[in-house]
Amino acid sequence: MDRAQGSTESLRHKCAACFRQFNKMEHLVEHMKTYYHSTHEPICDICKKHCRFYDSLRGHLIGPLPKAECAKRFSERGCSLCLKVFPTAEQLTYHRATCQSLPPLPPISGGRLFSVNNRIQAETEQIHGESSNRGNISAIAMDCEMVGGGQDGSLDICARVCLVDEEEKVVFHCYVNPTIPITDYRYDVSGIKPEHLIDAMPLKQVQEKIQQILYNGEAIWRIRSKGGKAKVLVGHGLDHDLQSLSMEYPNHLIRDTAKYIPLLKSSKASNSLKYLTQSFLGYKIQSSTHDPYEDCVSAMRIYKKMRNQDHSQSASLSVGEFHPENVVYARMKHKDLEKMTPETLLQISQSDFYCWCMDSNSQAT
């Protein structure tokens, strides 16, 4: 009986990525077709298990029921922020100094310190001109603060917007004149008072300035056809922010930390920016009212951390590309795939999302 069980166990086919086992090779092939395992997934540095989300990898290493051997080695030489494991404790100590981020300092414009008590109307004056002339700036982070409209104050209205470049310098920052009456200023969260919106910038003018910054003066039709050069737009919940500004932006240029697959929860729901900042950057935000500059910087830092990962790009999707099927598998016969080893199946498998690590080389613009 024991001998038979051992024989059955040896015949099971093990996925080279997530280590799931299957009785038949055809079942493993079907698994590889639908799970899109690739080098772009979060991977345990110890056992080399692939995880779909960083939350899953975090649970594998330091969760309530972690993999015992991996958890032991990770506790000795693992970074709790990027989840990498280092050969020596000295290397880990050196790494932590660069992986741990400090909270951003309040931004300064033209010698003035930005704060919610300042009337922010034309802060873009010289800042915008200086930043847009730096050709090496390829990404802009944006965040909006909302007030409430409608009878119950549940309608989101953009009342403040901030744009920050890759160097964490303010590119544009202003209060926005609402197009409909405000019924709830949501001060506890937004930090916005009625006096802040006196002489606030009209929405149409805000739209024009943001478009000028993002599109670099290019014709919009060229950007939408991926032929022009524009900035990558970074943020958290950008669909909501763009909607509140009555604006659109090409999907292939959006890097949203609320939608990026590796940053999602294991349930595929979005993590909050507050959680992502604590988990990946090591400091807290939004302890009182929300600061759009602080949120912009956090989103930009998370994006750059994801972008700077060193992944193989040989079997990856191009910018904005998505296929309902794993392309390489779709071109091959099922019987031919069944003849391959699990390792070969993993090698030819493709990701179903555009990994931000490719931005480092392609610039995605």
pLDDT in tens, 30-48: 999 999 999 999 999 999 9
CA nearest 344: which of 29, 92, 21, 3?
29
pLDDT of 187 reads 86
Give the domain ranges of the chain.
2-99+310-362, 110-307
Q: Check if the beta carbon of residue 161 is closer than 8 Å to that of residue 206.
A: yes
Q: What is the pTM of this model?
A: 0.87
Report, at the CATH architecture level, how domain 110-307 is classified.
2-Layer Sandwich (3.30)
- Average pLDDT value over all residues in the chain: 85
Read off the tokens for 308. Answer: 């700077």
pLDDT in tens, 102-141: 999 877 544 344 544 344 444 444 344 444 444 445 899 9
pLDDT of 312 reads 73
pLDDT in tens, 15-26: 999 999 999 999
pLDDT in tens, 209-226: 999 999 876 656 555 555
Helix (H, G, I), strand (E, B) or coil at 327: helix
Amino acid at 315: A
If residue 14 lies in a helix (H) or strand (E), which one and from where to where? strand 13-14
pLDDT of 289 reads 79
Helix (H, G, I), strand (E, B) or coil at 115: coil
Residue range 301-309: average pLDDT? 96
Residues 6+ apart with CB under 8 A from 143: 161, 162, 235, 236, 241, 292, 293, 295, 296, 299
How many other CB atoms are there within 10 angstroms of residue 33's CB atom? 17
Residue range 4-23: average pLDDT? 77
Helices 68-77 and 89-99: angle between axes, nearest 10 degrees: 70
Give the per-residue SS3 of 328-361.
HHHHCCHHHHHCCCHHHHHHHCCCCCCCHHHHHH
CA distance 3 to 271: 47
